[in-house]
Amino acid sequence: MLALALALRLSLALQPYEFMMRWVVFLKSLIFACKLPVLLAAVGVAVGTGLGIGYGWAAAACLGAHAVEHVPLVVPWGRITVLAVTAVAAGALASVLPARRATRVSPTAALGVE
């Protein structure tokens, strides 16, 4: 009877800890799932912005070389920032939604499908 009482007390004491551990595992899996897509989106934004500014300035210089001596480089940083934040957020959402769905499936059920 004493062992049953100790086991019951131990199981009741571990429930909040188990709940916290599930949240920690869930948050770690979300962070792990977001790293690569967010990094890829950020690199894509950086490379695309650099190439777009370079090619745009080169095209404006080639087209305007006959009319104007100097073509000024004007970059709309506000618009680029909004688009960069949107692209990185889309990359994060594209990885979080499937990760959340995958956490709801038990591993045995997922392996049993094959």
Tens-digit pLDDT profile for residues 41-75: 888 899 999 999 889 888 877 876 665 567 677 88
Tens digit of each residue's pLDDT (9 = 90 or more) over 85-108: 998 888 888 877 777 777 777 767
Q: How many C-beta atoms surround the C-beta of residue 26 within 10 A?
A: 13
Record the tokens describing residue 69, joined without a space. Answer: 């001596």
Record the pTM: 0.58
Record the tokens describing residue 92, joined without a space. Answer: 């994060």
Residue bearing the bigger pLDDT, 95 or 84: 84
Task: Judge whether 96 and 36 are in contact, CB under 8 Å.
Answer: no
Give the per-residue pLDDT at 69.
64
| Residue 46 parent element (H or E) | helix 2-64
